[in-house]
Structure 1
Amino acid sequence: MALQWMILTYVVAAEAALAILVTLPSPKLVKKRLVSLVSVLLQPALFVVPFAGFQILDIYWKNEHRMKCTSEICTAAERDRFEKAIFKAERNVILCATACLLYWCIYRICKYNKELESLEEVEKRYKDE
């Protein structure tokens, strides 16, 4: 179970690095090449959205079927273990939401840069006429 969270953590870290790279100011040619490279990488990276969605559903199902430790019978160790599991689940939900949000942000940044490039080409054509 820990492997899938480790993979999702690395994917989120890679998405954050890509988001930083795409948003950094750079010369037009470098920016254009970088945006085209990231756009090519976006399609295979789309797997993160259903993967994160499945992980959220898994967390929800486990939360609904988890034994609650609210009675006086629970020992302190059991109560700590229960609270630790809740905190891990909350952290993992935030990780899944971050993965989807970062993917969407990178997609929108790339789309915005492509639209900006096409508008600049149209402007250049009008100036040439």
Structure 2
Amino acid sequence: MGLQWMMLTCVVAVESAIAVLLTLPWPRPLKSRLVALVSLSLQPAVSILPFAGFHLLDIHWKNEHRQMCTAEVCTHEELLHYEKSVFKAQRNVLLCVLSCLLYWCICCICKYQKEVRELEEAEKRRKNQ
């Protein structure tokens, strides 16, 4: 399971890097090629959504079936282990939500850039006529 979380962490890192690259002020030819490249990779990258959704369901199920550990019942070591597992679950929920949110942001940025390019082309055509 740790490998899957490491993979999700890498996906979030790559998605955030792509989002930053898309929002930087590049020259128009470079920006249009970058948007085209990212747009081509969006369809295969949509598989991150069910992957993250499955893991969110897994975290929810584990949280519902986790044994509670209170100071009266558990030893200090068991309490630390319980708190560590809760923190890991919270981190993993954050990773899942971030992966979905960043994917959506990248889609919106690409769509916006394409619309801007189309409007600029339409404006050039009207000026030439």
State the Cα deviation string for residues 69-106 of structure 1 (Å, max 9, x = none): 12612100001100000000000000111000100010
**What residue is the counterpart of 2:106 in the other structure?**
106
What aligned pairs does 1:38-77 form with structure 2 within 5 A after superposition?
A: 38-70=38-70, 72-77=72-77
C-alpha RMSD over aligned residues? 0.8
Query: Moved runs in structure 1, 4+ residues, more than 6 A?
Result: none
Unaligned runs of 5+ in 2: none
Instruction: Tell me the SS of whatever aligns to 1:43.
Output: helix
CA contact (8 A) 2:69 2:79 kept: yes
**Structure 1: which 5+ runs fail to align?**
none
- 1:93 aligned partner: 93
Count of matched residue pairs: 129
Q: Structure 2: which amino acid aligns with 1:69? A: C
Alignment check: 8 A CA contact 2:9 2:95 kept:
yes
Contact 2:71 2:79 in 1 (8 A): no
Residue 46 of structure 2: SS of its match in structure 1? helix
Deviations 1:54-77 (A, max 9, x none): 111000000000111126121000
Deviations 1:3-60 (A, max 9, x none): 1100000000110111111111010000000000000011111111111111110000
Find the aligned partners of 2:11 and 2:95 in 1 and give their Cα distance: 10
In the superposition, the TM-score normalised over structure 2's length comes to: 0.98
